[in-house]
Amino acid sequence: MARQAKTSTEQWLEGGRGPKKDEAMQGLDKMPPCPPRIQGRARAIWRDTGKMLIAAGMLARADLGLLERYAGLRAGHEAVTAQMDAMALDFEDPTQTAMRAYALKTSSELRQIEESLGLNPVARARIGKHQPAPKKDPLSELNKKREQMKAAA
């Protein structure tokens, strides 16, 4: 089996020179393999969110660490909130108090990461993605065809 060449990021992690400036900020065309440290529900979140961001043209190699953090936090947040939903509400229970504090902290951090990645409409508008396409002249296509026909004749 042929060995794949290491990326500049992998070389940098092993003590090499590191990624070039342009390489880190380049948009990705496809999702890289999921890091092995991401497991369970976080793996699905990482994959699905990453595919969505790539389809929108908004994921760069430099964003992968932030996406990894987002996936882990969101999976933990979902697990804690699901567990809290199954419990009877008791404000004196220290376990529930800690769970509510964790859920509040992670929801705040998730909102910040979502804004950084462009996962909400306001963030996409600030980044400049998903703006409505400029209006075209409805006759422009017909004029192009007419010019082509004149040139061919």
Q: Which residues contact 90 (CB under 8 A, 6 or more apart)?
A: 96
**pLDDT tens digits along 88-125:** 888 888 999 999 999 999 999 999 999 988 888 777 77
Helix, coil or strand: residue 35: coil
| CA 19 – CA 136 distance, rounded (Å) | 40
Structural element, H or E, at residue 20: none
| CA 64 – CA 37 distance, rounded (Å) | 13
How high is the pLDDT of residue 7? Answer: 65
Cα angle, residue 110 at apex, residues 59 and 24 outer, rounded to 5°: 25
Task: Kindly report the pTM of this predicted structure.
Answer: 0.66
**pLDDT tens digits along 23-51:** 556 677 888 888 889 999 999 999 999 99
